[in-house]
Structure 1
């Protein structure tokens, strides 16, 4: 019986995907950040979790997660769009319950059926599917969108609830979608590598009976390497109750986030990324 369980764990890790709650991005998955430099500590929540999101034994992006508010603070990834279908699955992060749980990005029912875990245990440190049911005017908004990835595995990896926030329906399907699909494609012309950090500012309202925070703002920033000596950057921010996106410089977004968070000055990228 024990052997069977171990084989099931191994199989799920190889085929469903793996993600790890780590002590730092710098030591575990720095490749998703320009010059291997994550945003500074000004954005860190009270109960942070650093997740290297891995699927089919490969890292695809990094997420700083807020265990208390049950939303991601930001997700960081490389912009590598390509053709493909939208995945039809949703995953959760077992290691948010503790390091003794598998390093696997799993479906809720897999944890319930094979790991002797209750839905209540899962829900203590993260959002679950039930939290996003019967919403009015909101839906599951990706920070790291599946459309910015080139193949089935990389797209599926974005369908974890640790990469999702309650987002205004009109914004998610309107102005924000236009930015993700049209503005990004236009702005990245001539770029060899584009690093993206996209996040959500916690708001004063919650869904799911106070379990999951509804962000007040959604924001995105990008740093593009044109060649060894030239880089460009841009950013946007949107209020999460309006179908409008404001285009900013990277420096302007960092200043806006500094004001919204009310802590130290926010820095999203290494200083070699242009702020103007």
Structure 2
């Protein structure tokens, strides 16, 4: 029996660790050739080696997707190598926390650059090729999955600008879905709760300690990156007739 994603090509951003790495491994195991994208080239090489050791196909594309030219080059590199694109997982993101009064504006700009501009640039560059894939005989469908957050559904103190970026992802996803779903490009958003990744580690130690104390009390068991990867795989392996518009994935203790 053929693998669900056999002969397809996928791009996964933020793939050097956490959800992105787990998603790349999951899609490769399902038969996709996966382009893993992030800034840390050495980490990407490790991800590729892991996928290839398991019998999958992957290659690394080191890029800062917040830069439009680099984001567009990612898509062109994939097309030059494989000639097609079937799945785009916009996972790259930064979560830098602080009050509106005290947080450094540079941190806001970094989040907007990656969480919103990077997603927009990749999607814009990829969309014509996803539309083409949806018209051919391989699957007759293509997929975009945008990874948002519970903070894109609910706002919390110190999450103001991060939430702004993720609420924006929600709106963009909904609008794009209405534009292209009838052409069989499925566009879905996935909103994880607390996941055990490096996301929090980009914050200063005081913020990390505060979140750790809160989680210890309220979320004793976080989700693992593999849990989210399985959810993404579910979204992109549905039959052509089925589109998952929104998936909210939470730790049981947080839900």
Per the TM superposition, whether the score is higher than 0.5 is no
TM-score (norm 2): 0.30
Greater fraction of residues in strand: 1
TM-score (norm 1): 0.28
Greater fraction of residues in helix: 2
